[in-house]
């Protein structure tokens, strides 16, 4: 199906039916710093930087939109410094769109070091141990000061596994906090996305999605996946999360970056993704390729003078060999991590470009099948 729908923050250009009532989508997210073609992958810039890369690298790599982290930037450098800097775009020298997460996932990861209250979460800073409060008001204030193009509602991320009782209470909290986030002041032109929670229970995710839709947001995210659950449970969580969301709004799957999971997320109607995988894998010495990841740090590449990936036109593959990159990694030279990061981010951008092209050409089914064959041997 094709034809533009929307007219607000998101324009839905076309849909490709993928079975079981789902459709892969092509669209455009409209932000204050430019349009974003979807489906899209967002590299993570936790500390106002994508690790080892400069903004000009990101532009050369055709990165459309970055993710910044509210929790980390609140703690360091802090709101006062960020306000004096003129916001996150000016601070980091990036003039493209930025999405900021709410900080909810980072607080979730603190586990027993946090205490959930009706107004937010009390926790001790991992930097200096000071007691910090982060809730809807603080999260939205920080995101307003950061001036991101897309802000996220503060939510409670449900762990896996969790009891039904815990999940029910958590969903009520997420909905209540979403209402408070919408009532808080926003930066000029800033979009606000709600986050669907509900754990492994479809009815809870449906309830959360309906309530968020009733409140009304510029877009919606599926949260609480990729938190340690098996892949089949993750995929079911995506399906349950999108079922109650408006067709005309952007849908964002938080924290998912495995290439096959990107394909399967798109097949279930997801438009936006983020994950630390490209940069984290690079720091650990692994490269993504069209035929799966390879451990460049391994001994068998010590005298391999071929590029990291044959046929790849990224800067790393055009100029350097596996043997050289491996040498840098073992010598603990930062250039090794940088070159692999350049390659991995290039891989993800190219992968999403190819997926968008397949959707435009009506060949998404073939793209999906080939991805499974090449990356999973299926």
Among 211, 209, 268, CA closest to 234:
268
Q: State the virtual CA torsion across 228, 167, 199, 97 in degrees, nearest 10.
A: -90
Q: Which of 3.20.20.105, 2.40.10.350, 3.40.1280.10, 3.40.50.2300 would CATH assign to domain 9-275?
A: 3.20.20.105
> What is residue 312's three-state secondary structure?
coil
Residue intervals in the chain for CATH 3.20.20.105: 9-275
> Is 240 known to be catalytic?
no
Q: What is the 3-state secondary structure (H, E, C) of 313-350?
A: CCHHHHHCCHHHHHHHHHCCCHHHHHHHHHHHHHHHHH
- In angstroms, the CA 324 to CA 214 distance is 55
pLDDT score of 124: 87
Each residue's pLDDT tens digit in the chain (378 positions)? 766 665 599 999 999 999 999 999 999 999 999 999 999 999 999 999 999 999 999 999 999 999 999 999 999 999 999 999 999 999 999 999 999 999 988 877 777 778 889 999 998 888 998 999 999 999 999 999 999 999 999 999 999 999 999 999 999 999 999 999 999 999 999 999 999 999 999 999 999 999 999 999 999 999 999 999 999 999 999 999 999 899 999 999 999 999 999 999 999 999 999 999 999 999 999 999 999 999 999 999 999 999 999 999 999 999 999 999 999 999 999 999 999 999 999 999 999 999 999 999 999 999 999 999 999 997
Residues 169-189 have pLDDT tens digits of: 999 999 999 999 999 999 999
Q: Tell me how many degrees the CA angle 350-49-224 measures, rounded to the nearest 5.
A: 75
Q: What does the pLDDT read at residue 113?
A: 78
Residues in the chain: 378
SS3 114: strand
pLDDT for res 87: 98
Count of C-beta atoms within a 10 Å radius of residue 93:
11
The answer to whether 101 is a known catalytic residue is yes
- Give the model's pLDDT for residue 5: 67
- The single residue listed with the structure tokens 């449900």 is 158
Residue of 155, 274, 304, 360 marked catalytic: 274
- For the stretch 132-145, pLDDT in tens is 999 999 999 999 99
- Pick the catalytic residue from 101, 218, 240, 258: 101
pLDDT value at position 6?
A: 58
């Amino acid at each position: 199906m094709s034809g533009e729908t929307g007219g607000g923050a998101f324009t839905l250009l076309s849909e490709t039916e993928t079975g079981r009532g789902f459709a892969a989508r092509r669209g455009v997210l409209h932000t204050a710093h430019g349009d974003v073609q979807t489906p899209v992958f967002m590299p993570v810039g936790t500390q106002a930087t994508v690790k080892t890369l400069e903004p000009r690298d990101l532009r050369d790599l055709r990165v459309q939109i970055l993710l910044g982290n509210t929790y980390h930037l609140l703690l360091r450098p802090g709101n006062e410094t960020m306000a004096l800097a003129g916001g996150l775009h000016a601070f980091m020298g990036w003039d493209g769109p930025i999405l900021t997460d709410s900080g909810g996932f980072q607080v979730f990861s603190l586990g027993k070091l946090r205490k959930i209250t009706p107004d937010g979460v009390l926790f001790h800073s991992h930097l200096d141990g000071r007691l910090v409060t982060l809730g809807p008001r603080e999260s939205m204030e920080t995101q307003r000061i950061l001036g991101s193009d897309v802000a996220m509602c503060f939510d409670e991320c449900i762990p896996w596994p969790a009891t039904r009782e815990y999940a029910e209470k958590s969903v009520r909290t997420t909905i209540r906090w979403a209402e408070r986030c919408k009532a808080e002041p926003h930066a000029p032109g800033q979009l606000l996305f709600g986050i669907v929670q509900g754990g492994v229970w479809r009815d809870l995710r449906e309830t959360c999605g309906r309530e968020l839709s009733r409140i009304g947001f510029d877009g919606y995210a599926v949260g609480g996946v990729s938190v340690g659950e098996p892949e089949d449970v993750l995929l079911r969580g995506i399906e349950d999360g999108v079922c109650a969301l408006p067709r005309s709004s952007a849908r964002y799957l938080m924290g998912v970056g495995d290439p096959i999971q990107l394909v399967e997320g798109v097949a279930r109607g997801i438009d936006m993704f983020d994950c630390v995988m490209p940069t984290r894998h690079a720091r650990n010495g692994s490269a993504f390729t069209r035929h799966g990841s390879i451990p460049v740090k391994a001994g068998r590449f010590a005298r391999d003078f071929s590029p990291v990936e044959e046929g790849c036109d990224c800067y790393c593959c055009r100029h350097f060999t596996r043997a050289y990159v491996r040498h840098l990694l073992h010598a603990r030279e930062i250039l090794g991590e940088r070159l692999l990061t350049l390659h991995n981010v290039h891989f993800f951008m190219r992968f999403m470009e190819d997926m968008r092209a397949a959707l435009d050409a009506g060949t998404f089914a073939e793209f999906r099948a080939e991805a499974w064959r090449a990356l999973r041997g299926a």
